[in-house]
Structure 1
Amino acid sequence: MLTGAVLLVLAGMSLFLRVFFSFDQVIAEEWVKFSGVDAYWHMRIIDNLVRNFPNLIHFDPYNIFPGGEFLDKIHFFDWFLAGLIKLLTLGAPSERAIDLISAYFPAALGALTVIPVYFLGKHFSSRWGGLIAAALIAVMPGEFLGRSLLGFTDHHIAEALLSATAMLFLALALKKSPGQLTFRRLQARELRPVLGPLLYAVLAGVMLGIYIITWQGALLFLFIIFVFFLVQFLSDLYRDRPSDYLSITGVLMFLAAGLIAAPFSAALQNLLIFAAALVLGAATVITRFITARRLKPRLFPLSLGAMGAVSLAVFYLVDPDRLIFVLRMFTIFVPTSTSAATTLEMQGLFFPGGAFSTAIAWGNFNTGLIVFPLALVLLGYRFIKQGQPGPGLMIVWSLVILAATLGQRRFAYYLAVNVAVLAGYVSWEVIRLLALRRSPGPPPVGRRRQAAPKPGSAANPVLLSLSLLLVLGVVFAPNVPQAIDEARREHFGPPDAWQKALLWMRDNTPEPFPDAEFYYRLNNTPDQGFSYPDTAYGVSAWWDYGYWITRIARRIPSANPSQSPRPIKKVAALFLSQDETAAAAMMQTLGSAYVVLDYKPSSTIFWAILMWGEKPEREFYDYFYTQQGNSYIPERLYFYPAYYRTLAARLYNFDGRAVTSQQPVVVSYEDRVSAAGVPFKKFISEQAFSSYYEAQSYIDRQPAGSYRIVGNNPYISPVALPQLDRFKLVYSSEETVSQASFTVPEVKIFAFD
């Protein structure tokens, strides 16, 4: 009863943290602002799903223009949330009710995660260890907190909750099954001793199946569980222990998961799930053969390796493209795509931006970053010494998730569960060593003693209190101020300027379809491609804002965060266009009638546009280095004329107006190569002129040397720019930003004629 009350308090504390401090940023009288761009993709689906429940849209013409986007069936998160909305509103939800319930949903899931984390901590240590783990996950900052805050309506927190629950049931299934769950007992129908492990195995499979239909990348946990079973098979074989329980538990779990996932998952994914079950069955046959023949245990991995090699060869001969697709799934550990280079959450945990730093890791786990490896060492020793499946499961699970997080920092929301559980485990070991002492056993036979104590552990109240304070002070307390500070910060929601601009667009631009109700239409997958009406058009903005445009403005973006490369490259080419003729041609190719810009495409994310547009940075701007001692410092940033001629700069920086040459600068420099072989420009001098003509005349008179005409302010062009006749500024936000000593509207909308 007391433990339940403490858990309830911890869950309430977790919910309070996720709602209270960010409430004013998310919920306002006139709107609800969701956090993270992907939340708006989910909200678009939920809008349609609530209207057509339980039917899910399979093709969305609102996602990208032209072409639309196909949706898979992996949407349990959206389906469950839509069903909850229907239930709570008695089947008649308003837009406001949909937004409010959806905003609270991730915070509620984050609070519920306290429960499986407690039971995992209890399973691997004790009730105290479980409570410490639950308390830690309730306040852990970083990705886990950020993805479960009020308004972060994305499936990530559901992934953490479902995967943790699946692993809990698997751990419980394995706890008593080694000596009880055997084929002999199943054949003899001795159900009583095996019923518990079988039930937990099925529950683990059910949770794994639901997890699989929640996230496309759920094969990550299929891989973790599969690797664990193989490791445990080998461990039991070396210790000459029966391994029937592994085969029965694993096959039952994978079959249950496969049956749930089969109607929704792709055929290849279903094949991998059932193949995993088949391999575990084969592993039992191999181990029995090795044991019966008294062969060396190393034949087990050799046999499985040979089977795997043959299977891969056959797979390659039958369908090489699908095999390559499967192998590419492992790139989550080392992402190398353009998206990875330009997406913050896909950067490495210790190498954000390519430079080593512990700031991100410490921001996610705080002192857990120190406790985590210590716990792995202790569990590793325990596993090597005893070979029990529980520690083996936690070690494999933690190491694989750690590898994924090292490759992409976003997976820290998974690793948070492991860090919390293992911190609880270490904390319990500290408490046990400092505050608990073994009580004496019963007296010898024949010796009279009243109320003889049972053997066990007795606590010294003073030492127990001190050890609890020590553990909570080291493991728990440092996370609280950090978590509160993070909860107060805005997490990638649309600024007011964007919210108002897109609501203006919704009310003041033509509907792309015959009527506004088309937004709720249930579109099935078109056989011959979707036929847009003549009234349809696109809205060109950088891909980061695509889902905002779809859900808030209910217009069709030219690109979105699905990161489909072709549309993004087209928008990049549009923004980098060097004249109006090229820009107009690209607008017609995209079918766009409007361009929406804030300050970022011409400044802070201009480098990303260059990367997608496959253009070198040094064509548009460059850093010039000055010597300080024995090193060179990138002290001066200059913009070349090509930068000012880009459509992004001409529209946002100059509103498409004609611009005369102002304050051109001639910079002289030397081309150098660093000791590492990297070329750079050494700054020599600069000289300002009143016109581009004077600057060019000055360069022409120089007998030798390297000179360039540049600008040192992105809002003052050193070159003349003609007026853009086909682009008209139709909206400027009231909200402003300061850019290079200028105050400019934060968001601008241009109509294309």
Structure 2
Amino acid sequence: MILKNHRKLLIIGLVGFFVLVALWLRLIPMLTMGHTDILSMVASDDPQYDLRLVELSLANHFQYPWFDPMTNFPIGTSIYWGPLTIFIADFACTIAGAVTRPEIIGACLLVTPLFAAATVALMYFVGKAFGDWKTGLLASGFTAVVSGTFFLYSLYGYFNHRDGEVLFSTLFCLAYLYILISEKGATINLADFGTWRKTALLSVFAGIAYLLGLFLMPTMILFAFIVGVFTLVQFVFDFHRGRSGEYLLIANSIIFAIATIGLLIFGFKSPGMDLSTYSVGHVYAYLFLIGATALLYFLARYLKNRKRYYYPITIIGCGILFVALLFVAAPQLYTLFVNDLYQFFGQASVTQTVMDAMAWTPGEAWTSFNYGLLLMAGGILVTLYNNFRDERPQEIFAVVWALIILFSTWQHVRYEYYLAVVIALLSAVCIHFVFEKGWGDLRQLATGIMPPATADSSKDAEKAEPHRGAAKKKKQRKGTGSSPKPDYPVLAVVAIVFGLSLLFAFTSLSYNYQIGSSGVNQMNPDWKGALEWLGNNTPDTGVNYYTIYDPKTFQYPSTAYGIMSWWDYGHMITYIAHRIPNANPFQQGVTGPNGSAAYFMSTDENTANAILDADGTRYVITDIEMDTGKFWAMATWYNTTVAGTPYQTNMLYPSQTDPSQYNTVTLNEEPYYQTMVSRLHNFDGSMTPATSAFYVEYADPTVTQASLPVMTDAEVMNVSDAATKAEQYNLNAQAGHHATVLSLSITQPIDNIPALRHYRLIYESPTNTVKSDTGDVKYVKIFEYVKGAQIKGDGIIDIPLVTNQGRNFTYRQESINGEFIVPYSTGSDNPYPVKATGPYHIEGTSTTFEVPESAVMQGTTIN
């Protein structure tokens, strides 16, 4: 009784507690940052670009930039997501009085944790729609601790729009659920507005919620697809049960009419009909959904007194006919339909190189959601069971919602953030159902007293479960008159579900705490320092960082230039250095003959130079990750067919502790060392001779039945000796056995590496990643692309250099056609901290040369 009287306060208190837990977990990085520079707390990809948009919007009186020339040089880019998150952040900055960059960052980094906290509160009402206040509390509590990208994308330091997508899409789903619940058992007469006023009002609310989500991100179209699939399924169920579908016709028509009108007012921001942008394609999609709902409704009325299977067969026939007509009469719309379905639910080779676009693996699924996956499966079974007994359209909607999002996540791991709330909801549904079924047995086990049952509840129980009711009566008749025993199988299920719920909550909470405490979003200090140096020590591009430009009239000034690096680092280059990257994390500027993949994988300097000339590039930035861990990604973007096969090979070798077990090693082939990324980062563009390498004997998988070639012998030796030995071995090798020459070290090439003649190192970061006889390899390096001074002569020329980190190295180059083209100047007019410590010297002679900076930049001849 006390609980009942204070239930509202209890609910408010618990939901508030869950909100605070969600906030605490996400704000752990802020609470433990100490005196760390707040910029270092910002993740290195999308958050930095969103922060740029906030700065740009604030500087232009809350205007939103739909075009940005500060990336994807020399084209610029159109912004494909909506302004809602940016405007919310603008409002937060205004309220907080944030003006400087650190203040703006501080205000913005709180936005996404607050999105997640609001979702936690909202999930109480979503859960309540599937049961009662207890289901709501469970859904809210699980949402507070659930892991995956829902947590990662709302962690302090990752300012972005994704958890806003979850918030507004969940708000839309809640509104749609209320429509379904409110119309259960109601009779609607389309001619009498009074009979569907409530449906109309709820539909208007749902339409507004949909628009809010759409103005945040065009991906909201996924939830229109969910509604469309649900509508089809529900019409079939309703026809089977003899129920009319006016409520679906009204709801879908109003919701997507509002979406259409809202988008028309908002305006189309992109040409064509791509549904991943704000294009006219959305209008066609919404009108199609309204028309399809109307068709389903009128077909149901027309076939009302026919056999039940007529309706689904007619729907299938209409669907096939529609697709065929679309293919013939409107191929552009057909292509749009196919392409956008593939975008959401398909996979391509290059997407496996994009972390949040990769396919979901079972291991990743378990790491993210652990025991929640089992509870979700239980929740789906519960909803199906409930609908077998009684009509519950809201639970059918939940199953469709769950299955589509689950499949989307399986294809692209980024959609974990949508799946998180579904797992929290269905876990709550499962737990509530099991405990409701087992509550009487639990109480009896605890007190020894059979809980009282009203006559109505007894009848309901017997009606719902006649066999079980008869069995209990029979058991009571056979008893000795004592109270019946608890149903132990039911208690066992309760215990299992209770254990899974505790494991789900505890495992997720522990994992999130570990992630929050790990500094996962903190910026790499080498990159931060390198880009701050770049912004302060390179010429201004002539494009104002804080100006919103009109794409119809904008032209790059003659002083503009691009920065070539891998696409991962594009937003950092824009936000920190205020320079213009050729490629960015939108995967723009990556593919094609002039893309960054083609540049870094080039093995010919002239080809690479032509790419930089076409792209208007002046500086090139490399890092150790491009050189090692991300190399396969660049190779895949360059050639999806062969990917990294020509450059690197994976082999198995026996473990030293247990020869029956194998470890995997990646060894470099000769073409790896000829790529531009290797020649720049590993050898500073200098000529490098081959010295030692691995002589490797191995057996094919067809021989060993292993997944990879198995190394049977390996020896470090001189490169030429290794090549001779491998050639001799292969002449008499057994079938399936081979020998080759490979290298384990990135600084030990298998063949002589020629010098790059138009690239000079101008900066390197302090962290050393490789220390070898051939020299240190720093984490980040910046090179300038120059014309190079021309020196007539033959042989090998060298120059001693010292970097800004105090590392001494010698640049060496062999003449081509009686000429050297050298990239370094020797005078004090060199504006960069990598300096020559002596003149150029032709080896084996006493000839030296001094090279002025003007000759390097203008390409003039010294002698």
Please indicate the TM-score interval, normalised by the length of the shorter structure: 0.7 to 0.9
Q: CA contact under 8 A between 1:714 and 1:740: conserved in structure 2?
A: no
Within-5 A mapping of 1:527-546: 530-546=554-570
Shift of 1:502: 0.9
Q: CA deviation at 1:699?
A: 6.3
1-side partners of 2:526 and 2:731: how far apart?
50
- What per-residue deviation string (whole Å, max 9, x for no partner) do you get for residues 372-401 of structure 1? 111111110111221221111111111111
Cα shift at 1:682: 5.7
Decide whether aligned partners of structure 1 residues 471 and 364 sit closer, same or farther in structure 2, where only a CA change above 3 A counts: closer
Tell me if 1:328 matches 2:332.
Answer: no
| Map 1:184-263 → 2, pairs under 5 A | 184=190, 187-190=191-194, 194-262=196-264, 263=266
Q: Answer whether contact 2:345 2:407 (CA < 8 A) is retained.
A: no
CA distance, structure 1, for counterparts of residue 729 and residue 426 of structure 2: 69
Q: Deviations over 1:345-377 (max 9, x none)?
A: 222223xxxxxxx32112221211111111111
Residue identity matched to 1:473: L
Amino acid at match of 2:131: S
CA, structure 1 residues 739+146, in 2 after alignment: closer, same or farther (shift >3 Å)?
farther
In structure 2, distance between residues paired with 1:718 and 1:364? 42
The counterpart of 2:385, out of the listed 357, 378, 381, is 381
Distance 1:582 1:250, change over 3 A: closer
Moved more, 469-478 or 56-65: 469-478
Q: Classify the secondary structure of the residue corresponding to 1:473.
A: helix
Question: Which is further off, 330-339 or 279-288?
Answer: 330-339
- The C-alpha deviation readout for 1:699-721, integer Å capped at 9, x for no partner, is 67779356544323112234333
> What's the offset of the Cα at 1:172?
1.0
SS, match of residue 737 in structure 1:
strand
Greater mean alpha carbon deviation, residues 338-347 or residues 533-542: 338-347
* Candidates 1, 22, 39, aligned match of 1:14: 22
- Aligned AA (2:381): V
Aligned counterpart in structure 2 of residue 526 of structure 1, from 543, 552, 559:
552
In structure 2, the CA distance between the partners of 1:423 and 1:469, relative to structure 1 (3 Å rule), is closer
Shift of 1:743: 6.0
Task: Return closer, same or farther for 1:433/1:563 CA change in 2, 3 Å cut-off.
Answer: same
Per the alignment, residue 416 of structure 1 pairs with 420
C-alpha distance in 1 between matches for 2:708 and 2:500: 52
C-alpha distance in 2, partners of 1:669/1:138?
Answer: 52
- Asked whether the equivalents of residues 563 and 618 of structure 2 are also in contact (C-alpha less than 8 Å), the reply is yes
TM superposition shift of 1:564: 3.2
Q: Indicate whether 1:308 and 2:316 are aligned.
A: no
Report the CA distance shift for 1:618/1:389 in structure 2 as closer, same or farther (over 3 A): closer
TM-aligned CA distance change 1:97 to 1:285, over 3 Å? same
Q: Following the alignment from structure 1 to structure 2, what is the Cα–Cα distance between the partners of residues 83 and 700?
A: 70
SS at match of 1:369: helix
AA partner of residue 129 (structure 1): T
1:511 aligns to 2:559 (yes or no)? no
For residue 624 of structure 1, report the CA deviation from its aligned partner. 4.5
Equivalent residue number for residue 649 of structure 1: 678
Describe the superposition over 1:175-226 as per-residue Cα deviations: whole angstroms up to 9, x where unpaired: 1213336125xx34436xx443332221111111221222222221111111
Structure-1 residue corresponding to 2:375: 371
User: Compared with structure 1, are the counterparts of its residues 413 and 740 closer, same or farther at alpha carbon in structure 2 (3 Å cutoff)?
Assistant: farther
Gaps of 5+ in 1: 351-357, 444-459
Match of 2:857 in 1: none
* Aligned CA distance change for structure 1 residues 334 and 232 (closer, same or farther; 3 Å): closer
In structure 2, give the amino acid aligned to 1:526.
K
Q: Answer yes or no: is the 8 Å Cα contact 1:668–1:686 preserved in 2.
A: no
SS of the residue 2:650 aligns to = strand
Confirm or deny: 8 A CA contact 2:591 2:638 kept in the other structure: no
The whole-number CA distance in structure 1 between the counterparts of 2:405 and 2:34 is 31
Residue from 763, 767, 781 that aligns with 1:748: 781
Would you say the 8 A contact 1:335–1:346 is kept in 2?
Answer: no
Q: Offset at 1:168?
A: 0.7
Task: Check the 8 A contact 1:141/1:482 in 2, yes or no.
Answer: yes
Q: 1:28 aligns with which of 24, 36, 39?
A: 36
Match of 2:587?
Answer: 563
Change (3 A) 1:736 1:30: farther
For residues 309 and 498 of structure 1, do their structure 2 counterparts lie closer, same or farther at Cα, with a shift above 3 Å needed? same
SS in 1 for 2:731: coil
Which structure 2 residues correspond to residues 616-631 of structure 1 after superposition, within 5 A?
616-624=643-651
Q: How many angstroms apart in 1 are the aligned matches of 2:577 and 2:635?
A: 27
What SS class does the counterpart of residue 748 from structure 1 fall into?
strand
139, 147, 158: which one aligns with 2:153: 147
Deviates more, 1:543-552 or 1:470-479: 470-479
Alpha-carbon distance in 2 for matches of 1:440, 1:672: 68
- Rounded Cα–Cα distance in structure 2 between residues aligned with 1:700 and 1:473: 62
Structure 1 residue 162: Cα displacement: 0.8
Of 88, 105, 127 in structure 2, the residue corresponding to residue 80 of structure 1 is: 88
Aligned: 1:287 with 2:300: yes
- Tell me if structure 2 keeps the 8 A contact 1:665–1:686: yes
Which one of 510, 523, 534 corresponds to residue 481 of structure 1? Answer: 510
**1:551 pairs with 572, 575, 585, which one?**
575
Kindly provide the CA deviation profile for residues 476-530 of structure 1, in whole angstroms up to 9, marking residues without a partner as x: 233221121122233355311111111111111111116xxx1111112226xx5
Deviation at 1:43, TM superposition (A): 2.0
What residue is the counterpart of 1:712 in the other structure? 744
In the other structure, the counterpart of 2:357 is 346
TM-score (norm 1): 0.87
Whole-angstrom CA distance in 1 between matches of 2:673 and 2:724? 21
Residue pair 1:559, 1:568 contacting (<8 A) in 2 also: no
User: Does the 8 A contact of 1:162 with 1:211 survive in 2?
Assistant: yes
Partner of 1:592: 617
Deviation at 1:418, TM superposition (A): 1.1
Equivalent-residue separation in structure 2 for 1:623 and 1:176 (angstroms): 60
Amino-acid identity (%)? 24
Select 2:404's aligned residue among 400, 404, 412: 400
Q: Secondary structure in 2 aligned to 1:183?
A: coil
Does the alignment pair 1:65 with 2:73?
yes
- CA change 1:701–1:379 in 2 (3 A) is closer
The 2-side partners of 1:681 and 1:619 are apart by 18
Residue 597 (structure 1) shift = 1.2
Partner-residue secondary structure (3-state), 1:113 = helix
TM alignment of 1:421-436, pairs within 5 A: 421-436=425-440
Counterparts in 2 of 1:618 and 1:423: CA distance versus 1, 3 Å = closer
Q: Measured at CA, do residues 735 and 680 of structure 1 come closer, stay the same or move farther in structure 2, by a change above 3 Å?
A: closer
Structure-1 residue corresponding to 2:448? none
| Deviation of the 1:558 alpha carbon | 1.3
From 114, 119, 125, the equivalent of 1:119 is: 125
* Range with greater deviation from structure 2 (364-373 or 175-184): 175-184
Is 1:332–1:407's contact at 8 Å kept on the other side of the alignment?
no
1:736 maps to: 768
Look up the SS of the partner of 1:179 in the other structure: coil
The aligned counterpart of 2:473 is: none
Structure 2: stretches of 5+ with no match in the other structure: 1-8, 268-277, 444-450, 457-485, 733-737, 787-863
Partner Cα distance (2:151, 2:136) in 1: 19
Residue 695 of structure 1: CA displacement? 5.0
1:471 CA displacement? 7.2
Cross-structure match for 1:131 = 137
> Tell me, what secondary structure is at the counterpart of 2:619?
strand
Structure 2: which amino acid aligns with 1:142?
G
Give deviations 1:563-583, integer Å, cap 9, x for gaps. 236547621222122243333
Aligned residues: 711
Matched, 1:576 2:601: yes
Q: Does the 8 Å CA contact 2:82/2:217 hold for their aligned counterparts?
A: yes
Distance 1:607 1:383 in 2: 49
Preserved CA contact (<8 Å) 1:574 1:586: yes
Give 1:101-120 correspondences, 5 Å limit. 101-120=107-126
Deviation of the 1:681 alpha carbon: 7.2
Task: Decide whether aligned partners of structure 1 residues 492 and 19 sit closer, same or farther in structure 2, where only a CA change above 3 A counts.
Answer: closer
